[in-house]
Structure formats: C-alpha cells, structure tokens
C-alpha cells in the first residue's frame, strides 16, 4: 500500500493539468457573495463529482439558489477507524465593476507559475485540490477504514454559515480540516461577532425644546440619542485599550482583539431631537475566548458607563448580537478555534506536510476568520489548512501558486489515507 500511495503522489505531478483544469472549472462558476444566491450550478457539479466517486449525497437549500452539498463515503469499518470531514466554501469575494483584472475574474488563466481568477486563493484552489486527491484515491480502488465526509458549503463570505447548517444537520467526525486560505500553515483562529447597540429615548421632542434639556433650569429631562451614543463609543474605546493591555494570545500582536464602531445610524429629521441612535460594531477576540463571553463583557462595561450618566441610567443601551447573514439581517458570528498541536490528527497532518514539502509544518493562528470555528463550537477538533495566502484573497488578479496547489493536493491525499486508516 505504501508503494501505491507513493505512486498516487507522483500522479499528482504527472496529472497536474487535470488538477488545474478542475480548479479552473470551479472558478468559472460565478459565485460571488454578495450578491450570493448563485451557487446552484457549482454545487450541482460538486455533488455529481462526489456521487461518481461513490459518495452518498445530501444537497439542500440554505437559501434559495444557495444549497449546501455534503458527500459521505462510508468506511470499510467505521466503528474501528477514525472519521474525517473535509470542508470548504464555494462562494467567493464580491467583484466591483471598476476592478482592473488582466482577464475576467471568472476567466482563469495560468501565468508565471500561478493560476489567476476569483477564488483561486480563497478558496476554490483548496476545494479543487481536495476533490482531486479524493479522485485519485477512488480511482486506485483504495478503501478507507473510517468515514470520509466532504462538505461544500455556502455563505462564508457574508456570514451565512453553511458550515453551521451542516453541524445542525448532525454531521460529525473525529476531525475536520477546513481547506481555506492558510499558505499551507496549520491554523486555529480568533473569532468575530457583530453587534448593534441602541440608545433610544422614551419620548420624542421637537428641536425647539433643545434649550430646555441641555441648560440648567430648563426643567426637561431629555437628551439627544446621538450625543449619548458618543459616551458609548468612548466607553468602547476604553474597553478596547484595556483588552490590549490585559489580554494576549501566542501568535497575535498585542491589541489584535478590537472593537470597531463600524456604522452609526441615528435621528429621524432635522426638526427633531434624535430619539434613537444605533451603532454597529465588529468585535475580534482571541482563540481562547467565546463570542458569548466577549459580548457579555461589552454589555457589562457599557452598562457601567451608562449608570454614571443621569439620562442613560434611565434609558440604558440595548444590545443585539450576531446574526445569520450580513445580507439578510446585517449580522454574523465566527466562533474562535484553538488547535491542539498534540492532537493525533494534527500530528498526522504535520507529518504529511513534512513528507510532501520537505519542510517542517507551521502550527499557528490565522489573522482572519473562517468557518473552522463552528467545528470547535460543537466540539469537533479541527484545523485550517489550505493553499493560497491572504495577500491574494479578495484581491484584484487573485492567484494561487501552482506549486503550492500541487503540494496541498499531495498532502491531503496522504492525510486522508492515513487518518481514515487510523484505528480508534
């Protein structure tokens, strides 16, 4: 079997044109999000691809026009051998009309050792490489002892968490690999949660009454919600600075945990005192924190700020956290993910990486977020490992190194074989 596996690794080089053709085909499917609702054709291609390889297929709409696809290949002895989920998202970053691509973003081209096209790095390169690895294993008639599950999900670019829907549907395994952009580093991640903070007056006043509510002797207990929100913003800045000093995590620069006041909406008309103001914030937190924990910290701090203000004490800020879609309800959650370097699957992946690349695997943390946190959130050990780098993700003329894509495919081929034939 070792000889057969080595032969398959050589085939990745010999059949590199097929690998590139598969990734190019995925790129040609126009799946930017936003606008989203455009992944049906790409997902049907992936479903058919997996079905031809012997996978049982589960395909369902998360949103109309945006289905998830899960393929399951049962192992020869599922109760005795380790199981694996390979996960990736089929949506890609949005395209602006004024972007100057050398060719069309969905017309992939090979140039100077790179494959260029939207999604090459984030993350159709990872999807295509993993699919090609599976193809080679199946063509060789290699049986896996444990179950192999392939998840092609929607919505990652806009916080629609197709991966969460897979978890809710009951899919689980002994380990999961998210083949998202990581430059072939084995990574965990911090998390992100968005939230709305609302300051709202119980009464609405004409702007002619302003002089009575801001000067002594005016005898009107009122305030502008916009001006009171300024105190909330200041409170958030104070907490952010406190976090930068009091919290840290290996691999992250101090102060990576941020609270960004991203959007503010308030007031109804120039003839009124603003009776409502809403602040949309984005919070980044560390891998050893949860979104429930950090949102609670923010609420407690801001309510202490409010208690020191006469008006806010009577009209305390309201909080709304997360959401299921940046498109539908303007909110998202990306849970954090810690990677255990001593986990047997991580060690197996490290060995596979070293054997293929000749370099020691780097285990670290991603400076951005992926769907990987949802696995950690439901108790499935996981890691991010994929081709491409963040300098190219979402970029004009996005590209991935052909050499790195080939290395990734070999690593996944070897890792899938070794992990799914590891005794429980």
Dist CA 46 CA 67 (whole Å): 11
Catalytic residue status for 355:
no
**What are the tokens at 216?**
């002594």
Q: How does 387-396 read in b/e, with b if 16+ C-beta sit within 10 Å?
A: bbbeebbbbe
Q: Token pair for residue 71?
A: 């393929």
Choose, from 66, 122, 156, 332, the residue flagged as catalytic. Answer: 156
CA 403, 338, 250 angle in degrees (round to 5)?
A: 85
At residue 405, the 3 state secondary structure works out as helix
**Bridging pattern class, strands 276-285 and 399-401:** unpaired
The residues with which 423 forms a beta bridge, in sequence order, are: 81
Question: Catalytic: 265?
Answer: no
Contacts for 353 with CB less than 8 Å, ≥ 6 apart = 184, 186, 359, 361, 385, 411
Q: Would you say 370 and 178 are in contact if contact means Cβ atoms under 8 Å apart?
A: yes
How far is it, in rounded angstroms, from Cα 334 to Cα 198?
22
The size of the chain, in residues, is 424
Q: Measured between alpha carbons, how far is 415 from 148 in angstroms, rounded to an integer?
A: 12
Q: Which of 91, 147, 275, 338 is catalytic?
A: 91
Q: What are the residue numbers of the active site? A: 91, 156
């Amino acid at each position: 079997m070792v000889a057969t596996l080595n032969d398959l690794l050589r085939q990745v080089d010999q059949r590199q044109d097929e690998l590139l053709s598969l990734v190019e085909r995925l790129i040609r499917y126009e799946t930017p999000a936003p606008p989203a609702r455009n992944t049906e054709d790409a997902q049907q291609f992936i479903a058919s691809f997996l079905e031809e390889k012997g996978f049982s297929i589960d395909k369902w709409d998360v949103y109309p026009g945006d289905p998830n696809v899960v393929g399951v290949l049962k192992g020869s002895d599922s109760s005795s051998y380790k199981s694996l989920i390979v996960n990736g998202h089929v949506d890609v970053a949005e395209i602006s009309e004024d972007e100057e691509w050398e060719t069309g973003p969905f017309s992939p081209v090979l140039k100077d050792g790179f494959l260029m096209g939207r999604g090459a790095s984030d993350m159709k390169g990872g999807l295509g490489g993993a699919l090609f690895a599976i193809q080679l294993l199946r063509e060789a008639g290699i049986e896996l002892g444990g179950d192999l599950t392939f998840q092609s999900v929607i919505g990652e670019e806009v916080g629609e968490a197709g991966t969460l829907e897979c978890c809710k549907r009951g899919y689980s395994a002994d380990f999961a690999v998210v083949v998202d952009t990581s430059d072939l580093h084995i990574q965990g991640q911090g998390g992100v949660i968005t939230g709305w903070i609302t300051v709202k007056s119980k009464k609405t006043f004409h702007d002619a009454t302003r002089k009575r509510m801001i000067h002594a002797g005016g005898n009107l207990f009122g305030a502008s919600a916009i001006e009171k929100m300024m105190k909330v913003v200041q409170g958030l800045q104070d907490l952010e600075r406190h976090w930068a000093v009091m919290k840290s995590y290996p691999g992250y620069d101090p102060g990576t945990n941020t609270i960004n006041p991203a959007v503010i909406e308030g007031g109804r008309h120039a003839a009124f005192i603003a009776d409502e103001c809403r602040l949309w914030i984005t919070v980044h937190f560390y891998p050893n924190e949860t979104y429930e924990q950090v949102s609670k910290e923010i609420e407690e701090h801001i309510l202490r700020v409010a208690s020191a203000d006469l008006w806010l004490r009577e009209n305390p800020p309201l909080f709304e956290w997360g959401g299921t879609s940046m498109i539908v309800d303007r909110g998202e959650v990306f849970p954090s993910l810690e990677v255990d370097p001593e986990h047997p699957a991580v060690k197996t992946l490290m060995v596979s990486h070293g054997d293929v690349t000749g370099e020691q695997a780097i285990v670290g943390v991603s400076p951005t977020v992926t769907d990987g946190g949802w696995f950690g959130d439901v108790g499935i050990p996981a890691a991010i490992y994929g081709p491409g780098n963040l300098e190219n993700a979402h970029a004009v003329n996005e590209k991935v190194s052909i050499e790195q894509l080939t290395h990734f495919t070999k690593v996944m081929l070897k890792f899938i074989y070794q992990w799914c034939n590891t005794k429980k």
